[in-house]
């Protein structure tokens, strides 16, 4: 039994292992920071790292609150976790690690999380009957189109993230290998070109795609929130 389990983990795809490592690392860091904040003396001055964490989380919570109202306590933790995971996955190529988000298995999994957040926020705000009853508006014949309208954004999120990260990785690889095939007086430039391209496609594009997937999830969730829940006392 143990050998079968070890064999299973041994045969896991590299990007999946990388994804598990990222998730485990984020979980550990979150627990450590959470414990530090929980047991922090209110009168003591927090360190710079803790202050940075608190400031960023506070900013993100306020941003989500402006869109989904009182349901921010539900939406913010999930979307923030997703944002950090996507960002780290996107920029993994900088350290020559296969980016998990350049595979559709990961991006479609993230899109399912986005769909879950959007639909569950609607259920929490309006209730099951009213939430799904909205699919029949303005009249019942529109139901199929409304269902497609709820599914299409999830597909676009997955394909957009996959396409941008995968294409960036391909361009960087092709450029590097192409330069290495040139004579020595030109091939040495690959040492400088690859880091520049990695910063552009992995870091810059990775950051942009992280913002896109998180913002779209929050915005789609806000469309499912009842107007009364948007008012925060």
Q: How confident is the model at residue 37 (pLDDT cuts 50, 70, 90)?
A: confident
Task: For residues 87 and 79, give the distance between their C-alpha atoms in angstroms, rounded to a whole number.
Answer: 12
User: In the prediction, which pLDDT does 1 show?
Assistant: 64
Task: For residues 153 and 216, give the distance between their C-alpha atoms in angstroms, rounded to a whole number.
Answer: 8
3-state secondary structure of 220: helix
DSSP 165-201: HHHHHHHHHHHHHHHHTS-HHHHTTHHHHHHHHHIII
User: In the prediction, which pLDDT does 150 show?
Assistant: 78
Q: How confident is the model at residue 204 (pLDDT cuts 50, 70, 90)?
A: confident
User: In the prediction, which pLDDT does 28 show?
Assistant: 92
User: In the prediction, which pLDDT does 64 show?
Assistant: 92
3-state secondary structure of 57: helix
Work out how many domains the chain is built from and give that number: 1
User: In the prediction, which pLDDT does 79 show?
Assistant: 92
User: Is cis: bond before 138, omega within 30 of 0?
Assistant: yes
Q: Does the structure show a pLDDT above 90 at 50?
A: no
Q: Does the structure show a pLDDT above 60 at 233?
A: no
Q: Determine which helix (DSSP H) or strand (DSSP E) holds 218, and give its type and residue range.
A: helix 205-222
Render pLDDT for 133-167 as a digit per residue (tens, 0 to 9).
877 777 777 788 888 877 777 777 777 777 777 77
User: In the prediction, which pLDDT does 60 show?
Assistant: 92
User: In the prediction, which pLDDT does 76 show?
Assistant: 93
Contact 135, 224 (CB under 8 A): no
Expressed as residue numbers, the domain containing 70 is 2-230
User: Which range, of 17-26, 94-103, 216-225, averages the lowest pLDDT?
Assistant: 94-103
Give the residue-averaged pLDDT of 49-58: 86
User: In the prediction, which pLDDT does 133 show?
Assistant: 80
Render pLDDT for 4-31 as a digit per residue (tens, 0 to 9).
766 766 777 778 888 888 899 989 988 8
User: Which range, of 12-21, 88-97, 119-128, 206-215, averages the lowest pLDDT?
Assistant: 88-97
User: In the prediction, which pLDDT does 44 show?
Assistant: 74
pTM beyond 0.75, yes or no: yes
């Amino acid at each position: 039994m143990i050998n079968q389990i070890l064999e299973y983990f041994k045969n896991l795809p590299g990007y999946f292992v990388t994804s598990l490592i990222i998730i485990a690392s984020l979980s550990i860091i979150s627990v450590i920071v959470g414990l530090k904040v929980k047991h922090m003396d209110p009168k003591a001055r927090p360190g710079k790292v803790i202050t940075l964490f608190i400031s960023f989380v506070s900013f993100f919570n306020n941003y989500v609150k402006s869109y989904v109202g009182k349901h921010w306590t539900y939406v913010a933790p999930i979307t923030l976790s997703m944002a950090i995971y996507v960002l780290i996955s996107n920029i993994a190529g900088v350290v020559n690690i296969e980016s998990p988000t350049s595979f559709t298995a990961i991006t479609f999994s993230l899109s399912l999380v986005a769909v879950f957040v959007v639909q569950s926020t609607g259920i929490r705000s309006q209730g099951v009957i009213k939430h799904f009853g909205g699919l029949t508006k303005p009249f019942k014949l529109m139901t199929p189109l409304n269902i497609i309208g709820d599914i299409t954004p999830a597909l676009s999120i997955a394909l957009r993230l996959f396409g941008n990260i995968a294409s960036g990785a391909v361009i960087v690889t092709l450029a590097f290998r192409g330069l290495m095939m040139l004579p020595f007086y030109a091939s040495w430039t690959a040492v400088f070109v690859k880091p520049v391209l990695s910063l552009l496609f992995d870091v810059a594009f990775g950051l942009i795609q992280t913002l896109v997937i998180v913002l779209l999830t929050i915005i789609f969730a806000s469309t499912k929130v009842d107007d009364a829940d948007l008012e925060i006392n």
